[in-house]
């Protein structure tokens, strides 16, 4: 199997301001894509909404999945549906919709252009070793550490130290066999990880 692993520490990530607060880009594909030019195939970021009410950036042609990490948020998609999100609850919507939010929160965002699909899962590592199988259909698996510390092992690779704010990107070129990823928690404390699984439709 051909694959690549990229590990991005919290202090290596780029944070920018937007009208409602600030956003940090965790991963973008292709790597030379530019969010401002909207030429990405998929993008993952976190955002801090620092005002009580905000209007989401208009992103026609982009499917979005958003998960609240801290705080609670009301999302209103004009003429579509509304949803109230507590921590680690999520909503999927069209980036071309007019979307307003209420609530001061930190959230996790997955953006998908046409031809791509994906989803988010919250993983609670509450035992010393937790072994997950990487889906054979996944083109990319991205893991973001929300809280805690863990050692991470993918296949036969050496262990990576994974802590709050870090991002691990696992890309595969050939989708022919399963691989496992092991989380070894440190200090006996629960580790919270967000997993984004991304596939070509």
Looking at CATH, the fold of the domain delimited by 13-114 is given as: Jelly Rolls (2.60.120)
% of the chain beyond a pLDDT of 90: 70
| CATH label, 117-200, candidates 3.30.70.360, 1.10.3720.10, 2.40.160.10, 2.60.120.10 | 2.60.120.10
pLDDT value, residue 172:
77
Query: In which band, very low, low, confident or very high, does the pLDDT at 98 lie, cut at 50, 70 and 90?
Result: very high
pLDDT value, residue 2:
72
What residues contact residue 112 under an 8 Å CB cut-off, 6+ apart? 41, 42, 62, 63, 64, 65, 118, 198
pTM (2 d.p.): 0.92
Please check whether the two domains, 13-114 and 117-200, share a CATH topology: yes
Mean pLDDT of the chain: 90
- Could you give the CA distance from residue 41 to residue 59 in angstroms, rounded to a whole number? 13
| For residue 152, pLDDT beyond 60 | yes
- Closest by CA position to 61, among listed 97, 108, 24: 97
Domain range list for the chain: 13-114, 117-200
Integer CA distances (angstroms), 6 to 45, 87, 147, 154, in order = 16, 27, 20, 12
| For residue 67, pLDDT beyond 90 | yes
- Closest by CA position to 145, among listed 195, 179, 86, 197: 195
pLDDT value, residue 159:
86
């Amino acid at each position: 199997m051909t694959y690549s692993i990229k590990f991005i520490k919290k202090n290596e990530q780029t944070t920018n301001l937007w009208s409602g607060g600030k956003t940090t880009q965790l991963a973008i594909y292709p790597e030379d894509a530019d969010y401002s030019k909207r030429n990405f195939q998929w993008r993952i970021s976190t955002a801090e909404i620092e005002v009580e009410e905000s209007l989401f950036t208009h992103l026609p042609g982009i499917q979005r999945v958003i998960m609240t990490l801290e705080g609670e948020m009301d999302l209103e998609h004009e003429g579509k549906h509304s949803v109230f999100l507590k921590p680690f609850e999520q909503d999927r919507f069209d980036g071309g919709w007019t979307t307003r939010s209420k609530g001061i929160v930190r959230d996790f965002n997955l953006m998908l252009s046409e031809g791509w699909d994906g989803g988010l899962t919250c993983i609670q590592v509450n035992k010393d070793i937790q072994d997950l199988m990487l889906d054979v259909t996944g083109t990319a698996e991205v893991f973001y550490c929300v809280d805690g510390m863990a050692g991470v092992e993918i296949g036969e690779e050496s262990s990576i130290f994974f802590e709050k704010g870090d991002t691990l990107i696992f890309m595969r070129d050939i989708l022919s066999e399963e691989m496992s990823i092991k989380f070894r928690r440190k200090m006996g404390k629960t580790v919270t990880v967000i997993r984004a699984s991304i596939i070509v439709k």
